[in-house]
Structure 1
């Protein structure tokens, strides 16, 4: 059994996707955290399944996306049934084409995501302290003191920062006295990972709805294998340990199909909640993932949102710990992520209430209105783009953040937006690449576009080296016909220039038509908070 150190810069409580992502991101910046979890080891059972494009972009930046793509399965479409009747089908294949390198929803279970991240930690020699529980936590001035339980031993550990990634029943949140407001949905649900005889298309997400409830069939990477999420029949609501055999008649009734189960890998029942912490940090203790917000599984957003929480917080925390940026930047974590969580909570709650409604009006809505909206709305490119940007999380923006500064002519893309995925021809290397690849290294990235004198580019590079000591990467893209699309999307007219400063999480921090070192320096020093060397 591993014995924890007496002090660590960052203690991460919880080794689920959010906690593991937090650890992995910190390791990219040279910070070795202590990560603990009360479980005996990584689980093979998990509720989350969908991995959205924004998370895949993050995995790519970390150099591990290929493994996820190899082991996952793309959802080809979504089929909608009411009382067994096929009412609508949405094509999801390449739905986000030209918007990202991953224009689809990848079905890749949470357990596999965790193993992917654990491999990253293992390669960086960062262990997870399994079977280790947080017993108590208190703040001591600028530090925190945690009491950990490992088997029959108790250990004291001090830490500069604590990350609560310990789920809906977060001990970190409770110890810090942070409220978790919201409610629990009325009915119980069940989840089953099964292999079926081929009566349901294993390339489609299939949603079946009737007066008694709903059932969603989500293809797993294995052939004819599905994750089923469905309403627990009313007659089994008070059954303490229902089985798949017990719910199968109701499942057949909802789908109107003769379901033949060949193998059951997992079956569980649970209640769903929609809650959000009233604050995302208290002093030097921060919440990410389910510890900060939980909601219905609509749209496959939960795990992805937790990954993005960690992605947002880690670079800021790393910059503070490494002495590059003033601690005030940590305030931007809650300022940026709480509105995202709140909007997600409201959206998934509304949709889930429609799906699970058993009222007369709700059934009319689901049978006649919803399929028509899906069918006719899906024919419009604008509707499909809107859906994909929301579901994939590439549409999340921090325009209102104090870290976002747009100067120059108004453009559709603004500071705070995710850097668009744009393929480019690298004039220097004479090879094809893309803007996201240019932002793959840890740290900020400064991008200049248009005609800029080589001597001035050298001056910029010299300034960054002397004043920022490698914390900011630098690339220049001159105008060329091969890169016309880049200039069109970024709205850079012929003969003009533009500078973009990209944050480590690939959101735009600064936009300007004028490439001025003094103005860029002002942004980095006075807006972001970089320290003077």
Structure 2
């Protein structure tokens, strides 16, 4: 067993998806974190399945998306069955013009963790397994942790602590942070089933009938996940097996599942909770340690990964003495409203899906099918639904880091940088705006007609004031890149945009005036840049 160091700049408690993602992101910023977990090894159960478009965009920036796409299954939409429907109401996911990944990828959490751990191993960052956090003491100068590694007690110090240790977070409990929310009254079951015949297509099936609810998620050609509510007649059983549920599943589906074997079966309660604060001085909470959701839309794991994506670049900048510590306040400002909004939305939807209330069942019978059919017929509504499910619609417009001085209304500071095709005039290659801006650090993107002298002046200023820290791209008007100018509402050839893209590919600053003094003011006064 490897010995823990006496001190680390960052300690991450929890080697689940959020903790592993946090470590991978910090490593790319030159920070070597210490990551511990009370488990003895990686999760073997499949657990979370959905990997959404925004998560795949993050993985693409890390150079890991191809590995996930190779192993996962691309789901194209949903089939809804209500009451006695024999034919489903089909809703096809439509995000082809919004992202490089216009689908939901189903991939077992165990494989997500495996890929992230392999990335840490490639960067010589180990996980200290069988290591339990016992106590947390913090001051304005640092954090002291009491741990038990195997049979040995160990006391180490760190500058910053990340709690990524799940819904029962020892970090959150040690800091006495309240975990507000509640639990659903039903018990639920989950079964990963190997079928004797291939799953018929790549649609998620949701079946809601008078006395039963089931959802089927394709994992691979013959592997499917079945989830549902434990029937009232079995809710008090402590030795429940999937064989006990087969008759109920057959009743709800209308046909028997041709099951070869059950690879994993679990009965559990579901909760909807959120920490009252995501930060306590030098300690941060991410993932399930900060919020837990109903399984509607597969939002939980993806939200945790975005927590890490939001925090990592800010914390790395502080550790590397590039930014003032005040930037860390923006983590809670940006992520708590996202978690709260998702919690409220998923809770309402899930309650409607599983409720036995007479009026809600009537809504499921008469209103829900009409609403789904309406969405299915509208490209705009399908697009909006995809933005919500995929999390590409999350915005930080109200953040203290977002400065918008532009006439643009569709795209504003705080929004995710849109996925738009780009023809690189300099390299003469096709690419996209996100790929352009995916290098480490901030990116200054200037759109519009500038004189060669003005472009040269900006480049010289960056080289002098922000060497190796601010990437620069200039895009003059052209027929090949007309869509980008339309997206940023630049109808006049005289129009200009100065856009600063954050390391997490959210827009921090938009101005209709290209002025290095104003750009410098944003970086120093809003971001708190210290090195320049």
TM range (shorter): over 0.9
The worse-fitting range, judged by mean Cα deviation, of 476-485 and 271-280 is 476-485
Between the aligned partners of 1:458 and 1:199, the Cα distance in structure 2 is 60
- Summarize the alignment of residues 68-467 of structure 1 with structure 2, pairs less than 5 Å apart: 68-83=68-83, 85-86=85-86, 88-93=88-93, 95-198=94-197, 201-220=200-219, 222-467=220-465
Aligned residue pairs total 531
Q: Deviation digits for residues 291-315 of structure 1, max 9, x if unmatched?
A: 0000100011111000000000000
Q: What secondary structure does 1:106 align onto?
A: strand
User: What TM-score, normalized by structure 2, do the two folds share?
Assistant: 0.98
CA distance in 2, matches of 1:452, 1:323: 34
Partner of 2:529 in structure 1?
530
> What SS class does the counterpart of residue 114 from structure 2 fall into?
helix
Structure 1 spans left out of the alignment, 5+ residues: none
Q: Which moved more, 1:511-520 or 1:471-480?
A: 471-480
User: Quick check: 1:199–1:259 contact (8 Å CA) kept in 2?
Assistant: no
Contact kept in structure 2, 1:12 and 1:165, CA below 8 Å = yes
- Provide the rounded CA distance (Å) in 2 between the counterparts of 1:511 and 1:90: 40
> Aligned with 2:480: secondary structure?
helix
- Residues 443-498 of structure 1 show CA distances to partners (whole Å, capped at 9, x for unaligned) of 11111111112222222222222222311111111111111111111112223211
Pair 1:53-2:53 in alignment: yes
Residues 202 and 224, structure 1, Cα contact 8 Å, conserved in 2: no
Deviation per CA, 1:113-149, whole angstroms, max 9, x where unpaired? 1111111111100001111111111113320001111
User: Take 1:156 and 1:463, find their aligned partners in 2: how far apart are those partners?
Assistant: 47
- The SS at the match of 2:18 is helix
SS class of match (2:159): strand
Bigger Cα displacement from structure 2, 308-317 vs 197-206? 197-206
| Distance (whole Å) between structure 2 residues aligned to residue 51 and residue 507 of structure 1 | 20
Aligned pairs for 1:35-50 within 5 A: 35-50=35-50
Q: C-alpha separation between the residues in 1 aligned to 2:31 and 2:88?
A: 49
Q: Using the alignment, how far apart are the partners of 1:482 and 1:247 within structure 2?
A: 58
Partner of 2:511: 512
Contact 1:84 1:208 in 2 (8 A): no
Residue 210 of structure 1, CA deviation: 1.7
Structure 1 counterpart of 2:3 = 3
Contact persistence 1:39–1:132 (CA under 8 A)? yes
| Aligned 8 A contact 1:92 1:104 in 2 | no
331-340 or 134-143: which moved more?
Answer: 134-143
1:471 aligns with 2:469: yes
Separation in 2, partners of 1:384, 1:458: 44
RMSD over equivalenced CA pairs, Å: 1.3
Partners of 2:91 and 2:426 in 1: how far apart?
39
TM-score (norm 1): 0.98
The SS at the match of 1:481 is coil
Q: Deviations over 1:235-276 (max 9, x none)?
A: 222222210101111111111111221011100110000000
State the Cα distance separating 1:169 from its structure 2 match: 0.2
Q: After superposition, what is the alpha-carbon deviation per residue over 1:179-231, rounded to whole angstroms, capped at 9, x for unaligned?
A: 000000001001111112348534110111122331100000x2121011111
* Aligned 8 A contact 1:193 1:265 in 2: yes
Q: How far apart, CA to CA, are the structure 2 residues paired with 1:471 and 1:159?
A: 26
Distance 1:250 1:199 in 2: 22
- Once the 2 structures are TM-superposed, how far is the Cα of residue 91 of structure 1 from its aligned partner? 4.0
Partners of 2:143 and 2:163 lie apart in 1 by: 13
Q: Which range is displaced more, 448-457 or 131-140?
A: 448-457
How far 1:87 moved relative to its partner? 5.3
The 8 Å contact of residues 11 and 33 in structure 2, kept in 1 or not, is answered as yes
d(CA) in 2 for partners of 1:303, 1:208: 24
After TM superposition, the structure 1 stretch with the greater mean CA deviation from structure 2, 206-215 or 480-489, is 206-215
Asked whether the 8 Å contact 1:84–1:256 carries over to 2, the reply is no
Q: Is the 8 A contact 2:38 2:129 kept in 1?
A: yes
Cα distance in 1, alignment partners of residues 321 and 252 from structure 2: 58
d(CA) in 1 for partners of 2:523, 2:3:
41
Matched-pair contact (CA < 8 Å) for 1:427–1:478: no
Shift of 1:92: 2.8
CA contact (8 A) 1:202 1:226 kept: no
Alignment partner, residue 520 of structure 2: 521
Residues 134, 147 of structure 2: 8 Å contact kept = yes
